[in-house]
């Protein structure tokens, strides 16, 4: 989707009509109520159910308004990289690139170094680039892979430059461009050589990783390995800092004599008695260490699972930072997160399609997108806590970094920087609060971005029109997807409670932006209304309580219009953004699953935290799964396979709706009451229940029909059958 400008007026018209529909629904809810002919108890019950439904609809409407605000006036951006080169090529600023990794088994070292190599190979003066890897896994395996990468870069960078290779992650390159360019023998020869080099490196790294330890032979290759003699475990060790390529040295050149970017490996100190604050802690350590080594004014942050797919992204980002009119007020430039491991119809709806094609463009027009963790360029100054003011307007980009470091040897520099990454360094300081990334929130990125915007900075969303900037790894099992969503919803709601955009952003960020933020920050409480809507109307059906207008009553029109109008809109929007119909259906299912489980648990965690019970955690998203699981993923078969309370909730809700639907069908067709009467009275409720049963079809399959390892575990099946039956029986009697 290039730009949705043309259809914006249409959208506004549609939104207005839905708004009228929603108002009519409220008029109906307020002017009518449930009346029973049977008894008082029944009537009281019905009245409560009615009020609950009214509140849910009220909530849905408020939430829908946020989504309308986001879509109201999106903005789309282009860059002019040629003008940038013309004007600034000689004075381009330094750029520091931070890559984070946390665990060598969940995030394999080969993946990590592919990301590292892709960012080392940016189309940018290499002497101005410094790449830092933060290894929270404290693993010598990752260090070894980095050492290999530092050697491979000598061949890889000139190769990329010469043949304008895209993408510059070797793994992705050889995977996507497996056709050998035969017509030109020169390329063919070099291609084969470099491919062989890469593959032999990969074999070495993978065999070492499989072995789980570094052989004596390899240990001799670098003094750095000796550091691991003193490491007692991934949560208990000193700082290890190794400058693998020292870009200041004349020796640091590739095989064509061109300079290489600086390459640094860091694992910050960790001690059991100190909380390490997950990725935020890692990033802050990197900010400090890099400030002493290269101190570039621009910082790019990527996760190790997200490689650069476009060698020009640095230049794209600088077009905004160096913009004469607006550049001085920009804190960060966020690129979309796109994933390259998704299947055609994206079973787990991991693609963030609507987020990146719709929502973030909307945020942009109100003052800037959220910071979403990876693929984001920062201005060091704003990340370090500076408030935006007039002084920021000076020519900050072109100020040359002090070169005092030049006399120190790499070893001296390493020793000096180690303290900056120690556990105690942050004691009694503003780090994690006013400086650097904020601590104590499961979405350190969003809260940090919001804090910067509240300090007066703006941000930019840039979705490159021709070539995606970054490609990452999305969750590939249902549980991973739900757990990731739980972390996000928990963190987002935490922000709403503790760093509310209306309070902190009062007078500094626009009302539009404050409202837009709510679209994400209120995911968690959204579960309440959703849970209500997918269970209570169905349970009421069993009892014969009708909660919607009769089908023959004109009041039914707004209900039908709002419900189906919104569904139709979201389908059209999805297709417009390049999705498929099946993908849309999957996204609807996932939205239901996320709201009723992830958001529910995220919500509960926040409540527990308020009561002082819960402590923060960060469940990493797995980047590798075993073959069996991955095969089912390729076939787009939903993966259950493990017992999890999340699955119990899902299965219970699904069974409940199936049960009710069957009971109702039986009633309709078997009992004496004429069908038309019952349909008229319960039409909407039965439709809702039927739709819920329909969207859950894959789940019933997993419960009762499948035989593979990914089916629902029997314990979950039994448990949810019991829960669903109990709920139905309670409702009936």
Q: Which residues are catalytically annotated?
A: 136, 445
**Taking the C-alpha atoms of 548, 551, 557 and 558 in order, what is their torsion angle to the nearest 10 degrees?**
10
One symbol per residue from 365 to 384: x for binding ligand UPG (CB under 6 A), - otherwise; what is it?
--------xx----------
Q: Is 119 in the site for ligand UPG (CB under 6 A)?
A: no
d(CA 375, CA 435): 21
**Taking the C-alpha atoms of 459, 465, 466 and 469 in order, what is their torsion angle to the nearest 10 degrees?**
20
Query: 583 a known binding residue?
Result: no
Query: 229 a known binding residue?
Result: no
Q: What are the E-state strand segments in 380-502?
A: 458-461, 470-472
Closest by alpha carbon to 331, among 370, 288, 281?
A: 370
Q: Is 621 in the site for ligand UPG (CB under 6 A)?
A: yes
Q: Are 329 and 379 in contact (CB under 8 A)?
A: no
Q: How far is the CB of 449 from Mn ion (least distance, A)?
A: 17
Q: Is 315 in the site for ligand UPG (CB under 6 A)?
A: no
Q: Pick the binder of ligand UPG from 60, 278, 377, 457 (CB under 6 A).
A: 278
Task: Quote the Cα angle for 637-638-640, to 5°.
Answer: 130
In the list ligand UPG, Mn ion, none, the entry touching 95 (Cβ below 5 to 8 angstroms by class) is none
Q: How far is the CB of 460 from Mn ion (least distance, A)?
A: 22
Instruction: Kindly tell me which of 310 and 374 has the beta carbon lying closer to ligand UPG.
Output: 374
Q: How far is the CB of 267 from ligand UPG (least distance, A)?
A: 10
Q: Pick the binder of ligand UPG from 110, 139, 284, 484 (CB under 6 A).
A: 484
Q: What are the E-state strand segments in 343-431?
A: 376-379
In the list Mn ion, ligand UPG, none, the entry touching 135 (Cβ below 5 to 8 angstroms by class) is none
Residue with tokens 């980047």: 623
Q: How far is the CB of 306 from Mn ion (least distance, A)?
A: 7
- Find the part of the chain contacting ligand UPG (CB under 6 A) among 149-157, 274-282, 588-596, 636-644: 274-282
Q: Is 437 in the site for ligand UPG (CB under 6 A)?
A: no
d(CA 643, CA 399): 57
Residue count, binding to Mn ion (CB under 5 A): 3
Instruction: Kindly tell me which of 56 and 114 has the beta carbon lying closer to ligand UPG.
Output: 114
Q: Is 136 in the site for ligand UPG (CB under 6 A)?
A: yes
Instruction: Kindly tell me which of 224 and 475 has the beta carbon lying closer to ligand UPG.
Output: 475
d(CA 65, CA 68): 5
Q: How far is the CB of 140 from ligand UPG (least distance, A)?
A: 17
Q: Which residue is nearest to Mn ion (CB)?
A: 305
Q: How far is the CB of 363 from ligand UPG (least distance, A)?
A: 17
Query: 107 a known binding residue?
Result: yes
One symbol per residue from 702 to 731: x for binding ligand UPG (CB under 6 A), - otherwise; what is it?
------------------------------
Q: How far is the CB of 622 from ligand UPG (least distance, A)?
A: 8
One symbol per residue from 89 to 108: x for binding ligand UPG (CB under 6 A), - otherwise; what is it?
-----------xxx----x-
State which of positions 298-317 bind Mn ion (CB under 5 A).
303, 305
Non-local (6+) Cβ contacts of 506 within 8 A are none
Q: Is 94 in the site for Mn ion (CB under 5 A)?
A: no
Q: With DSSP H G I counted as helix, E B as strand and the rest as coil, what are the percentages for the chain, rounded to 5?
A: 60, 10, 35
Report the SS3 class of residue 507.
coil
Residue count, binding to ligand UPG (CB under 6 A): 24
Say if residue 167 is preceded by a cis peptide, omega within 30 of 0: yes
Q: Are 564 and 68 in contact (CB under 8 A)?
A: no
In the list ligand UPG, Mn ion, none, the entry touching 18 (Cβ below 5 to 8 angstroms by class) is none
d(CA 570, CA 584): 8
In the numeric block, which tokens belong to residue 281? 């802690």
Q: Is 620 in the site for ligand UPG (CB under 6 A)?
A: yes
Paired residues of 95 in beta bridges: 129, 298
d(CA 280, CA 258): 34
d(CA 656, CA 727): 8
In the numeric block, which tokens belong to residue 207? 């065999």
- Where do runs of H (alpha helix) occur along 455-555? 478-498, 501-504, 511-521, 523-543
Other beta carbons within 10 Å of 163: 15
Residue with tokens 């819960």: 614
Query: 303 a known binding residue?
Result: yes
Instruction: Kindly tell me which of 18 and 111 has the beta carbon lying closer to ligand UPG.
Output: 111
Q: Is 487 in the site for ligand UPG (CB under 6 A)?
A: yes
Q: Which residue is nearest to ligand UPG (CB)?
A: 373
- Find the part of the chain contacting ligand UPG (CB under 6 A) among 19-27, 88-96, 587-595, 615-623: 615-623
Q: Pick the binder of ligand UPG from 282, 300, 330, 342 (CB under 6 A).
A: 282
Q: How far is the CB of 644 from ligand UPG (least distance, A)?
A: 17
Q: Is 618 in the site for ligand UPG (CB under 6 A)?
A: yes
Q: Is 237 in the site for ligand UPG (CB under 6 A)?
A: no
Q: Which bin fits 368, alpha (ψ -120 to 50), beta or left (φ > 0)?
A: left
Element (H, E) at 660: helix 645-670
Q: Is 445 in the site for ligand UPG (CB under 6 A)?
A: yes
Side-by-side strand order, sheet with 240-245: 240-245, 262-267, 129-135, 95-101, 298-303, 376-379, 330-334, 458-461
Say if residue 552 is preceded by a cis peptide, omega within 30 of 0: no
Q: How far is the CB of 557 from ligand UPG (least distance, A)?
A: 42
Which positions touch Mn ion (CB under 5 A)?
303, 305, 621
Which residues are part of a known binding site for Mn(2+)? 279, 303
Which residues are part of a known binding site? 107, 136, 279, 303
Which positions touch ligand UPG (CB under 6 A)?
100-102, 107, 134, 136, 278-279, 282, 303-305, 373-374, 442-445, 484, 487-488, 618, 620-621
Which residues are part of a known binding site for UDP-alpha-D-glucose? 107, 136
């Amino acid at each position: 989707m290039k730009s949705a400008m043309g259809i914006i007026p249409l959208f506004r018209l549609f939104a207005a009509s839905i708004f009228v529909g929603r108002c009519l629904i409220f008029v109906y809810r307020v002017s009518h109520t449930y009346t029973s002919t049977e008894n008082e108890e029944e009537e009281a019950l019905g009245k409560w159910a009615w009020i609950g439904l009214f509140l849910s609809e009220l909530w849905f409407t408020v939430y829908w308004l946020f989504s309308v605000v986001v879509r109201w006036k999106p903005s789309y951006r282009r860059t002019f990289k040629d003008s940038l080169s013309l004007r600034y090529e000689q004075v381009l600023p330094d750029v520091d690139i931070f890559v984070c990794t946390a665990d060598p088994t969940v995030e394999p070292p080969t993946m990590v170094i592919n990301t590292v190599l892709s960012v080392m190979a940016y189309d940018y003066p290499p002497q101005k680039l410094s790449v830092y890897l933060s290894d929270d896994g404290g693993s010598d395996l990752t260090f070894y892979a980095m050492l290999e990468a530092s050697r491979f870069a000598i061949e890889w960078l000139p190769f990329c430059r010469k043949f304008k290779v895209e993408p510059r992650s070797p793994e992705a390159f050889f995977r996507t461009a497996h056709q050998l360019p035969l017509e030109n023998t020169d390329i063919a020869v070099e291609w084969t050589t470099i491919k062989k080099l890469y593959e032999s490196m990969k074999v070495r790294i993978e065999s070492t990783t499989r072995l789980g330890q570094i052989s004596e032979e390899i240990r001799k290759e670098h003094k750095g390995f000796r550091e691991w003699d003193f490491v007692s475990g991934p949560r208990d060790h000193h700082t290890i800092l190794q400058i693998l390529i020292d870009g200041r040295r004349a020796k640091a050149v590739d095989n064509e004599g061109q300079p290489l970017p600086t390459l640094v490996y860091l694992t910050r100190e960790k001690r059991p008695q100190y909380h390490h604050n997950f990725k935020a802690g890692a990033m802050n350590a990197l900010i400090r260490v890099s400030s002493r080594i290269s101190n570039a004014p621009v910082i790019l942050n990527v996760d190790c699972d997200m490689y650069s797919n476009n060698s020009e992204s640095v230049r794209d980002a600088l077009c905004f930072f160096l913009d004469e009119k607006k550049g001085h007020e920009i804190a960060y430039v966020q690129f979309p997160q796109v994933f390259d491991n998704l299947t055609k119809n994206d079973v787990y709806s991991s693609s963030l399609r609507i987020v990146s094609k719709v929502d973030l463009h909307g945020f942009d027009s109100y003052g800037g997108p959220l910071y979403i963790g990876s693929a984001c360029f920062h201005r060091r100054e704003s990340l370090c806590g500076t408030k935006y003011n007039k002084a920021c307007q000076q020519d900050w980009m072109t100020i040359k970094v002090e070169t005092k470091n030049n006399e120190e040897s790499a070893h001296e520099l390493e020793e000096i920087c180690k303290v900056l990454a120690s556990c105690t360094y942050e004691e009694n300081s503003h780090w994690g609060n006013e400086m650097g990334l904020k601590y104590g929130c499961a979405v350190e990125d969003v809260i940090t971005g919001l804090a910067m915007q509240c300090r007066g900075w703006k941000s930019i969303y840039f979705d490159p029109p021709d070539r995606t900037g970054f490609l990452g790894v999305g969750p590939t099992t249902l549980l991973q997807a739900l757990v990731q969503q739980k972390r996000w919803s928990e963190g987002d709601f935490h922000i709403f409670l503790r760093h509310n955009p209306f309070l902190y952003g009062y007078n500094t960020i626009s009302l539009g932006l404050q409202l837009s933020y709510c679209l994400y920050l209120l995911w968690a409480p959204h579960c309440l209304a959703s849970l209500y809507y997918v269970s209570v109307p169905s349970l009421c059906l069993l009892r014969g309580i009708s909660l919607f207008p009769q089908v023959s009553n004109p009041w039914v029109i707004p209900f039908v219009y709002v419900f189906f109008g919104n569904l139709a809109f979201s389908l059209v929007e999805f297709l417009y953004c390049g999705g498929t119909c099946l993908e849309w259906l999957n996204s609807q299912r996932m939205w239901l699953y996320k709201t009723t489980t992830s958001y529910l648990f995220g919500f509960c965690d926040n409540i527990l935290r308020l009561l002082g019970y819960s402590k923060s955690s960060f469940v990493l998203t797995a980047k590798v799964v075993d073959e069996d699981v991955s095969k089912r993923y390729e076939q787009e078969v939903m993966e259950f396979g493990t017992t999890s309370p999340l699955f119990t909730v899902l299965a219970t809700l699904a069974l409940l709706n199936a049960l009710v639907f069957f009971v109702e069908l039986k009633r309709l067709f078997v009992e004496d009451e004429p069908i038309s009467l019952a349909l008229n009275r319960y039409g909407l409720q039965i439709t809702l229940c039927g739709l819920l049963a329909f969207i859950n079809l894959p789940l019933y399959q997993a419960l009762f029909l499948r035989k593979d390892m990914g089916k629902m575990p029997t314990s979950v099946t039994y448990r949810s059958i019991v829960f669903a039956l109990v709920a139905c029986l309670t409702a009936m009697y």
